[in-house]
Chains A and B, each alone.
Chain A
């Protein structure tokens, strides 16, 4: 992971141990190289090509976290038509001052359009903020609201994309929730035998808990860090997954602060699902109702499969033979989860499983914001693009699009790991 010396959003100077920017609060742990793209939320409205209107990933080479200029100004010939209506009229720092600012994903092979040092310097605090995305009239105040119409501005976590060589992911606020309480963390590890491992962790904050967004972000980062360290040092994958689950659990527990006796507030909590690919092996771990699916390339030769078993009321009912799957999922209690990470979890019961697929395919790691719209493995396989294994980021975007088309009632997070590791 490259050492950041200044905040990618506001250029505040950072200490090596900083995980969040002390000035604007940007999470410094999440954007591993390459930087995720923060697309304007308004872009979610465009659905015609299944691509959700996100500007294609654009050059900005070398892993430098310099602030990308507004899309319109710097990307000749690509994406500008789509992004223009939502681009900032003037360069301004991302993050709190102007969360709409589009940071673009990097593609290592592409030449940069501009030298990093010619990019606009982060603005001084006194510089006028850009116009509100909702009314276009007011400027945005220090709390992230329009000083004219009061509308909250898109936030960093509303839409995040990340693409690594071996794994990609997209998370989106969806259409009905006011903030994104999902989080993902991606990583790659080099095993002692020299081969590469892909790591994806996806967490869904429990809405009824306090600070669910913090819980999911903390848990996913903790788990991904643990997995990378453990796998690099030669720990067996299922053991590493077990350790990651415990690390994630502890990190969420540590978020509890102050008086915990108030029955009105629940301790921070989230679900957890992770998949890692190591050589011939595919290992998953989970708590709660976030899922991993196996989708083979050749669906005639092999069947798609769900790799996880929900900790949910519906799953319990089906397991106990009390209700059919259809009946169970029709019940309003279906999604009540029976397992989660958090200080008030009765007992942590982490599940892990390993598989050895004999055909190429992809692992889809996702929250219920996706699988609500493609519940069975077959339904999901039907909406996974045929070239998913070679274009995992595109696949993740497409699946997010499926959920948004379906109504986007929840936050949506999708990570896609090609199998076997293609490099």
Chain B
């Protein structure tokens, strides 16, 4: 819809925001729903001329010239608790995966490797510092990985705090971490992890991977969610290497950090929710930070060349038929380095128009309908699996049946496949399913971890 400003920073991508909604409300109607598609393109390669960030696309990741690209720092946290030795391939695969990730680190990017047990230990470079990636340091880091041995407990909060200290030691614009764990966070209280997450939130982003099937899905997805990263399962440790490389490539593609979604709403309006709905469902409603009169900021983390969808639901004070109101102004803002007014990267308008035309006011916007369904799908899966664990089989059958139906309707084939490993689908159109007697732990955990993954509207 609108590209407001050409960023002063040549490395910042161009943001666009498009709004999809049915703005027509019946007389007395209050609820306004809109899907805002935010897309960032260009950055260091296309778009505005890059003073120093010239590069080209290479296998999905940016291939920056040495020492160029946005300044970034990455910390890799590898679980080295005793359980990593069962089976022994797990530790070996973690080592290989970390080595592959190190190979993907762009020259000039600061990095460190942390071994996590009931405490956090710097593996490379040590001394509370970060190394600057080049051929030599990458080699040294991989060499240092040989020192990784399994033994001890799991206290993820301590790992996160060490990563935070290390990342904070570097003057960079993008701070990212990768966390690998195979077990539950048993050696610290949940409050301690919570406190660590609160302390680290907004300071760096973190992608999390659970390896094997002995970890807690909610724990890992909770960490990723709090730190605005991705979460996934790597059930088979041999898959780690490819996954780590991919994750690091995605991290290297990030070009701007600390972008916030700013939502202005009129006086008297109530924000029902603000959710990211693509590529995955993430409820941001409670993460609002006030930003001036009637406006609030929701964190979105860092952006490369990508597109995300947000669902905004606002209740406004109804006005008379024929009246028009701005129900929301959604903008992407970047805090300014000097503490001044934030830079507005792009914005979209959410409108409300009251009409007595029933055909107009009862129409449901296809995007809104689609993502309402995707959010319900994620919830149905989570509730269904929870009911199944609790032994409430009727409820589990009903919820997972509904999930099968929603996945089929919306064309979410990946989720439909995962569901089919947990239930026998009798009729997907009506959502008739039977719970499978024996379900592989890995399948159940995969479904739970990926329940929030969405697909976009079929064109």
Question: A: which residues have CB within 8 A of B?
Answer: 134-135, 137-138, 141, 143, 145-152, 173-179, 207, 409
CA distance A164 to B198 in the complex (A): 70
Near A by CB (< 8 A), chain B positions 277-329 give 293-294, 316-317, 319, 321-327, 329
Encoded as 1 (CB less than 8 Å from any A CB) or 0, chain B from 325 to 358 comes to 1110100000000000000000001001111110
Q: Known contacts A148-B267, A150-B267, A150-B316: does B327 contact A178 (CB below 8 Å)?
A: no
Near A by CB (< 8 A), chain B positions 254-293 give 264-269, 293
Residues of A within 8 A of B323 (CB): 151-152, 178
Given contacts A135-B267, A148-B293, A149-B268, 5 further A-B contacts (CB under 8 A): A143-B349, A148-B267, A150-B326, A178-B353, A179-B324
| Chain B residue at minimal CB-CB distance from A150 | B266
Residues of A within 8 A of B293 (CB): 147-148
Q: Is A150 within 8 A of B322, CB to CB?
A: no
Residues of A within 8 A of B316 (CB): 150
Q: Is A173 within 8 A of B322, CB to CB?
A: yes
CA distance A150 to B323 in the complex (A): 11
Q: Is A152 within 8 A of B321, CB to CB?
A: no
Residues of B within 8 A of A207 (CB): 357
Q: Known contacts A148-B267, A150-B316: does B356 contact A176 (CB below 8 Å)?
A: yes
Residues of B within 8 A of A174 (CB): 322
Q: Known contacts A135-B267, A176-B356, A178-B355: does B324 contact A151 (CB below 8 Å)?
A: yes
| Chain B residue at minimal CB-CB distance from A151 | B325
B282 to chain A, nearest CB (A): 27
| Chain B residue at minimal CB-CB distance from A143 | B349
| Chain A residue at minimal CB-CB distance from B327 | A150
A298 to chain B, nearest CB (A): 39
CA distance A64 to B223 in the complex (A): 67
Residues of A within 8 A of B353 (CB): 178
Q: Known contacts A150-B267, A150-B269: does B322 contact A145 (CB below 8 Å)?
A: no
Q: Is B319 within 8 A of A151, CB to CB?
A: yes
Would you list the 8 A-B pairs with minimal beta carbon distance, nearest first? Answer: A150-B266, A145-B326, A152-B324, A150-B326, A178-B324, A150-B325, A176-B322, A178-B353
B30 to chain A, nearest CB (A): 13
Residues of A within 8 A of B266 (CB): 146, 148-151
| Chain A residue at minimal CB-CB distance from B354 | A178
CA distance A151 to B319 in the complex (A): 9
Residues of A within 8 A of B357 (CB): 207
Q: Is A177 within 8 A of B322, CB to CB?
A: yes
Residues of A within 8 A of B268 (CB): 149
| Chain B residue at minimal CB-CB distance from A144 | B326
Residues of B within 8 A of A134 (CB): 319
| Chain A residue at minimal CB-CB distance from B353 | A178
Near A by CB (< 8 A), chain B positions 342-380 give 349, 352-357
Residues of A within 8 A of B317 (CB): 149
Near A by CB (< 8 A), chain B positions 112-164 give none
| Chain B residue at minimal CB-CB distance from A174 | B322
Residues of B within 8 A of A409 (CB): 356
| Chain B residue at minimal CB-CB distance from A153 | B324
B360 to chain A, nearest CB (A): 9
Residues of B within 8 A of A179 (CB): 324
CA distance A206 to B254 in the complex (A): 46
CA distance A143 to B357 in the complex (A): 25
CA distance A340 to B316 in the complex (A): 37
25 A-B residue contacts at CB 8 Å?
A: A135-B267, A137-B267, A143-B349, A145-B326, A147-B264, A148-B267, A148-B294, A150-B266, A150-B267, A150-B269, A150-B352, A151-B266, A151-B319, A151-B324, A151-B325, A151-B326, A152-B323, A152-B324, A152-B326, A176-B322, A176-B356, A178-B322, A178-B324, A178-B353, A207-B357
A37 to chain B, nearest CB (A): 21
| Chain A residue at minimal CB-CB distance from B265 | A150
A34 to chain B, nearest CB (A): 29
CA distance A138 to B266 in the complex (A): 10
| Chain B residue at minimal CB-CB distance from A173 | B322
Residues of A within 8 A of B329 (CB): 143
B347 to chain A, nearest CB (A): 9
Q: Is A145 within 8 A of B325, CB to CB?
A: yes
Residues of A within 8 A of B326 (CB): 141, 143, 145-146, 150-152
State which of A148, A151, A176 has its C-beta within 8 Å of the C-beta of B321. Answer: A176
| Chain A residue at minimal CB-CB distance from B319 | A151
CA distance A151 to B326 in the complex (A): 6
